[in-house]
A and B are shown apart, each in its own frame.
Chain A
Amino acid sequence: DGGITQSPKYLFRKEGQNVTLSCEQNLNHDAMYWYRQDPGQGLRLIYYSQIVNDFQKGDIAEGYSVSREKKESFPLTVTSAQKNPTAFYLCASSILRQQYGYTFGSGTRLTVV
C-alpha cells in the first residue's frame, strides 16, 4: 500500500538537544512538506520541497532544518535554536500541481522534557 510513514510516533527531547523526525513516502510524489500543529490551532508550514536537493522555508522555519537527498525521504531536524518545540509534527506529500491536495503521515508528537 502506498502512503507516508512518519517515525517515531512519540519523541522526547531534552533542553539543548537536536532531534530528527523521519518522513518516508512511496507514493512517487515530487513535493513534500512539514507542518507544525499546536493544540487548538491550525497547521503552520515549516519547510517544503518540490524536487530532490532543493527546499524552501515556510512560515515558521526558524530553529528547524531539512534535507531532501532522495525523492522518498524528507527528514526534519528540530534544533536547539527552536525554543518551543513541543507540538504535533505532520509530514505531507503531493504531486507538483497539488490539485488533489496533500496526503499526510500519521504525525510525530514531540515533547520537551
Chain B
Amino acid sequence: QKEVEQNSGPLSVPEGAIASLNCTYSDRGSQSFFWYRQYSGKSPELIMFIYSNGDKEDGRFTAQLNKASQYVSLLIRDSQPSDSATYLCAVILNKLVFGAGTILRVKS
C-alpha cells in the first residue's frame, strides 16, 4: 500500500463548478497534511495545509480532514480554467511524502 494515494485523473469539471480532490494516507500517526498545486513544467506551490479534523477554508479552497478515515480532500469552488493543474497531496511522515497527484481540467 502506498503511503499517500490519489486518483491520477484527469478530473474534468466545467467552469464555475466545484472540483473535489481526494487523498488517503496509510499512517495513522500523520499529523500534518498539505495540498500543492503544480502547473505543467513548474514547481509545486503550497495552497493549503490542515492539522485538525474538520474543514479549513481559504478563499475558494476548502481542505477537509478526517483522521479516523485517514482521508483528506480539497474542494475548489467556482473552478476557473486557471485552476487546471496537477494537485499533489502530501503528508508529514518524519518527512513530507507526496502522492502522485490528480490532474484537474477546468473546461470553459
Contact B34 A101 (CB under 8 A): yes
Q: Main SS of the interface on chain A?
A: loop
Q: B100 to chain A: which residues have CB within 8 Å? A: 41-42
A106-B88 CB under 8 A given contacts A42-B101, A99-B51: no
Segment 54-108 of B: residues with Cβ below 8 Å from A = 88, 90, 92, 95-101
Report, as a range, how many residues of chain B touch the other chain.
20 to 34
Give Cα A101–Cα B91 distance, bound, in whole angstroms.
9
Nearest-CB residue, chain B, relative to A45: B95
Binding site for A on B (CB under 8 A): 8, 32, 34, 36, 42-46, 49, 51, 88, 90, 92, 95-101
Within 8 Å by CB of B98, from A40, A42, A103, A106, lies A42
Residues of chain B with a CB closer than 8 A to A33's CB: 95-96
> Would you call A43 an interface residue if the criterion is a C-beta within 8 Å of the partner chain's C-beta atoms?
yes
B interface secondary structure, majority:
strand
Contact A48 B43, beta carbon cutoff 8 Å: no
Q: Assess whether B95 is in contact with A103, with CB atoms less than 8 Å apart.
A: no
27 A-B pairs whose Cβ atoms sit less than 8 Å apart in the complex = A33-B95, A41-B100, A42-B101, A43-B44, A43-B88, A45-B97, A48-B95, A90-B43, A90-B44, A98-B32, A98-B92, A98-B95, A98-B96, A99-B32, A99-B49, A99-B51, A99-B92, A101-B32, A101-B34, A101-B49, A101-B90, A103-B46, A104-B43, A104-B44, A105-B43, A106-B43, A107-B43
| Chain A residues bordering chain B, tally (CB within 8 A) | 22
B42 contacts across to A, CB distance below 8 A: 106-107
- List the B side residues contacting A103 at CB < 8 Å: 46
Instruction: Confirm or deny: A55 has a beta carbon within 8 angstroms of a beta carbon on chain B.
Output: no
